[in-house]
Each structure stands twice: as structure tokens, then as C-alpha cells.
Amino acid sequence: MHKIKIAPDVEEEMLNSSFWTDEIKNEKLLSAAEIKEFKQKIDKKAARENKEEYYSDLKKFTQNLDEKKIAAMIDNTYTRKIDAEKIYYNLQGNLLSFEKKEEILANLKFNSAAVTKIMYGILIRRSAIRALPTLTTFASEKESGDQDLLQLTALACGSTALIMAESRDQNWYYVQTKLMRGWIKKDNIALTDSLDTALSYLDTDSFLVVTGSRVETEPNPFAPQTANRFFQMGDKIPLVDQKERIGEIPENHPHGQSNLGNYLVWLPTKDKDNNLKLKKGLIAASNDLKEGFLTFNRENIIKQAFKMLGERYDWGGKYRRRDCSRFIMDIFRSFGIKLPRNADLQEKLSPFENYNFSGDIKKIKTILKKLKAGDILHLPGHIMLYLGEYSNKNYLIHAASGYGELDEKGNLISKSIRSVFIMELEQLLKDGKKTYLEKFSSASKIK
């Protein structure tokens, strides 16, 4: 039998979620009303901290945007990620030429007549949102092409987008979404007549939640607009009302697939004029799905985390996986809790009870005694899920690049892991200067 490779001080039985949940008292942590209040608190914090670019109440987004304000937003989106004067590399590790950078930056010169007022739309497929209107990778080092500085995040099918500008090549829209501001391919957006119409797609009481790591709609050569639509943990997918159920998709087609053994769902597509058109699609009932959100308790938090164990660390979700903050965000979306996208904002804007760590290890360990499985740990630029204590050691699970080890002579070995894995808290950081435990900035206790 082949053994799974595990981190130091981790035992094989720890790879099962039940190892950490057997002793948990499984009470509900927040009611639906408390979760709604929780989201309102994050909205207010984001507004107070001037972080609405990263966590926006779209109904309150300003309508008074002139060309100058939009241009300033566009500049800020990319200049906080890259410096046009510095050198960058593509995915293959080749230097990006000055001419290529100039070509990409020139695409920012949007046609102000193309979007004369804010327009509204829905993403018809999972989409990257970018700091510049290009799919070209901007990496800071030759061998870090999978850490594309332009990749802000990936947004779910059905997400609402407020459209403010169009790129010069007319292939991209500059948008504000709930979680991020940036550029999305025009082909991925269906236009709606109002913000309310765009928001109404997911504003339904009858929906599926993806409770597994990921799921796709069924392939369908006769209805390609609804085929192979990709969803991730925490995504909502509206269900078709029983009264509107049909026998096969496409209807009355001799080779259309029956909805027998499938969920029938509404999927956003667009017509020839790029306007929103909802169509019925199929998702196999064998997938890890639930009608409505999961019950918010510690056992379910840990179970959700372990469904991603071993998956690739994925900066910005470019390759349909997760980085550290997306890992945490998707777990909590399974319960209807919408956290911000970035690790530092998940720490700063969270309404959970917060414990600040000092540099004193004794004090940090005292605080750890107050935590339970499912609470959240923070260090600058990184976020992790606490699992608990075993044999006088503390453990966590996270999506991370790796850790450091010392060899027999005391020399540092930097271990590149780049996946979701379990680790003991006193493991060295990759640079070997401190342990994770020593670097912690705070903890968020759920309840």
C-alpha cells in the first residue's frame, strides 16, 4: 500500500476530518438571521475602512462616475499590482518586452462613448477578473509564472457585475463586483436591464449549494450554452420550479438528456444581442450538493476543509483551485457567509471575536487554549484554519506554498508544497527565520 506523503509530526489518521470532529459539541453557531446580520457588519466595516473596492454593497455603489473618476479607478487597479517601469516574466519564464507592456497598457485607453453610464450584467461562466485587460501573465520572477500579479481572483457563474468601461480592443469590460474591481472578458458577461435584474438571479429561496470542491453541469452537444459550466464550493445555483420541469434538454430533441437522476437548474446565458437569457441545465444528483446552505457548525467547517485536502495551491484561482484566502472563503460560503476575498481583509473586516497575538510564545499558546477546531488563524498575508491540539501539539489546515525544515546539520531546507495540507503550528516558515506560531498576528474565534 502506498503511503501519502505528510508533513512532520502529522500522523495518517489526522488526514480524516473525523479525527478532529469526534469530540466536538455540534451546536449551530449562527442562525440564518445572525448570518444576515454578520454580512451587514462586514458591509459597514468595508465602508468605514474605505475598502468597498474589495467588498462592495452594489446597491449603494455610486452612480456619479465621470470619465475622470473611472480612469483613476482603472489606474489604481493595476498600479497597486505592477510597476510599468519594472521587468516581468510570462508563464514560460520569458521576459516581457517593453513593446508588449506598452501594447497592453494602451488597451486601457477606453472609449468613453462605449459606456455612457453604468451598465449591469451577470457572469455566464466562472471568470478571471484581471488588473489589466489581458490574459498575459505578469510574474515578478522567472520561475513564479503561476503567481500572476494581474490575477485578482476568479468569480462564480451568476455573479453580478457593474460595468463602467470598455477596453480599446472592445474585448474587456472594467467592472465592480461584490468582491473585486477589475477587467473581465466581455464574452463572459450577459447584459441586464437593471441592477435588480442582475441581482435577482441568485436572490432566490430555491437553490443548490456546491458542497464538494467543484462540480460541472452535464455535457450536452445539443445545448452547449448550458454544458460543462464549472462551479466551486459555496457557489449558489438556482433550481427550476417544479411547475416548469421538462422531460429532456433540449426539449423535444431525440437525443436530449432526460432530467432523470439530475437537478434541473437555471443557468445564465446570453442572446445574440448579449442580453441575459436564462436556460435550463442539468447537474447530476451524484455530485456533492445540498438544497440550501449547510448548517453552520464546527463539524461541517472541518468537513468542508478536508474536501480540498491535497488540491493545488492556486494564486487567484487561475487554475480552478484555491489560494489561502479562497480556501477559507469557500468553506464559509457553504453556510451563506460571504467573507472578503483577500487574507488581510478577512482578518481586518471579520466581525468574529478577535484575539491579537504578541511575540511572546507563552501568551500565544494561552490564546490557543481558547480556540476550537474551525477557528481562524492569521499571519501577515496568510490565513489558516485551526484544527486543534493533539499530544501537546497544535495543528492547522491551509492552502500554502510550503514550510521550512532543518536537516541533521541544522541547515534550512525550504520545502515547496503548494497545496492544501495539514501542519503542526511550530513548523518553520520557508525562510527559516521564525515558526508559523511566532509569526501569527491574530486569531478569529467564531463563537
pLDDT digits (tens, 9 = 90+) for 136-146: 999 999 988 88
pLDDT at residue 2 tops 80:
no
**Largest separation between any pair of C-alpha atoms in the chain:** 73
Percentage of the chain lying above the pLDDT 70 cut? 97
Predicted local confidence at residue 361, as pLDDT:
87
Cell digits for 145? 509564472
CA angle 217, 222, 224 (to 5 degrees): 50
Query: Could you tell me the residue range of the domain that residue 77 belongs to?
Result: 61-200
- The whole-number average pLDDT for the span 205-227 is 96
Domain containing residue 174: CATH number = 2.30.30.40
Q: Is 267 in the same domain as 212?
A: yes
Report yes or no on 21 lying in a domain.
yes
Cα 414 to Cα 180: distance, rounded to the nearest angstrom: 33
Q: Are 218 and 267 in contact (CB under 8 A)?
A: no
Cell digits for 12? 495518517
Predicted local confidence at residue 150, as pLDDT:
97
Predicted local confidence at residue 115, as pLDDT:
64
- The whole-number average pLDDT for the span 355-383 is 91
Query: Which residue, 234, 381, 401, is CA-closest to 304?
Result: 234
* DSSP code string of 207-259: EEEE-SSEEEPPP-TT-GGGTT-EEETT-EEEBPPGGG--SEESTT-TTPEE-
Cα 387 to Cα 373: distance, rounded to the nearest angstrom: 4
Predicted local confidence at residue 199, as pLDDT:
97
Helix segments in 307-405, DSSP class H: 324-333, 343-348, 361-368
pLDDT at residue 77 tops 50:
yes
Q: Is the bond preceding residue 250 a cis peptide, omega within 30 degrees?
A: yes
- The whole-number average pLDDT for the span 168-172 is 94
Q: Is 31 in the same domain as 170?
A: no
Report yes or no on 311 lying in a domain.
yes
Task: Give me the residues paired with residue 415 across strands.
Answer: 403
The whole-model pTM stands at 0.94
Q: Is 196 in the same domain as 233?
A: no
Q: How many domains does one find in the chain?
A: 3
* pLDDT bracket for residue 25 (50, 70, 90): confident
